[in-house]
Amino acid sequence: MTDSREDPELVDELPRAKIERRRRGFPVVWIVPVVAAIVAGYLVYAHLQESGPTITIKFKDGHGIKAGQTEIRYRGVPIGEVTAIDLSEDEKYVLAKARLRRSASAIAKEGAEFWIVRPEVGFGTISGLSTVITGPYIQVLPGTGKPRTEFVGLEGAPPAERKGLRIILAANRLESVRPGSPVHYRGVEVGSVTSTELSRDATAAHIHLLISQRYARLVRVNSKFWSVSGVDVHVGLLRGLEISLESLRSLITGGIAFATPEDPSSRPATNGMIFTLYDKPQKEWLEWAPRISIPAAD
């Protein structure tokens, strides 16, 4: 008869299963998301480290400006980017908000000038053709005053020569004069039109001129200015056909000429003085030839 009890020695000889607790390691499936998060965090940190101040530039016309695409450049190097575009509360201006790089923070100071570079083809000048492919960008000249975050953009590029005499001409109508139009003295270009606007009471058109520093002393308080935007044709029995034209460029872009009388007591003009712009010169103005010394060319 078989004994139903197990033999203790036999039981000891049977193999026993070993139970091992599995250590839970980091799931492989989480490696990719964690690495991606680390890379994203690094990129955000690097971006914040490079980011400088946020500024707002007010333009009369924002055509071509796009958020996330339009760059701000200085000396041809991108130093910032437009991040948002909006209208002013009175809906008369375009507000371009931009973020500058930290390395360019010093540019955003009082006196900085911003303008939009677009393709422009004029008589004797071709500029901004690269923007046909890349799109318009905002050019800047740094300021030297206190840090600022709000600026008023220029309608166009400022004159190449920034030093000189700045005066204003008042005219009934603007005619064909525009920013960039030349200013002549005895047929020599001595300045240019920098901007145009209406007077505060809207009764006249104001034309802002910059006369080169070298020729500034030619302008006196009794100087006379007139428009040369076009061709004056006179027909006489003795002289025949006479055509008066200051320059061919003036015919295309408009122009201004002036003369100064022979008056030793006349004082030199100062910045901000307002003169009248006449439609045509009087005969005596064309005969004025005062002796006024001018500095030698640099």
Could you tell me the CA-to-CA distances from 9 to 4, 13, 18 in Å, in that order? 15, 6, 20
The two structure tokens encoding residue 29 = 């499936």
Q: How many CB atoms lie within 10 A of CB 162?
A: 10
Please give the pLDDT value at position 131.
47
User: Which positions ≥6 away from 72 have C-beta within 8 Å?
Assistant: 78, 79, 80, 81, 82, 98, 100, 114, 137, 138, 139, 140
User: Which positions ≥6 away from 191 have C-beta within 8 Å?
Assistant: 164, 165, 182, 183, 209, 210, 211, 212, 215
139 within 8 A of 78, measured Cβ to Cβ: no
User: What gap in Å lies between CA 268 and CA 291, rounded to an integer?
Assistant: 14
Domain ranges of the chain: 49-152, 164-287
Q: Mind listing the pLDDT tens digit of every residue in the chain (298 residues)?
A: 555 555 555 555 656 666 666 555 556 666 777 777 777 676 655 555 567 889 999 999 888 899 999 999 998 899 999 999 999 988 889 999 999 998 888 999 998 999 998 765 444 444 444 544 557 899 999 988 899 999 999 887 776 666 899 999 999 988 778 888 899 999 899 999 988 999 999 899 999 999 999 999 999 999 999 998 655 544 455 555 454 454 444 444 568 999 999 987 789 999 999 999 999 999 999 999 999 999 887 6
| Cα-Cα end-to-end distance for the chain | 132
Closest to 69 (Cα-Cα) out of 96, 88, 48, 42: 96
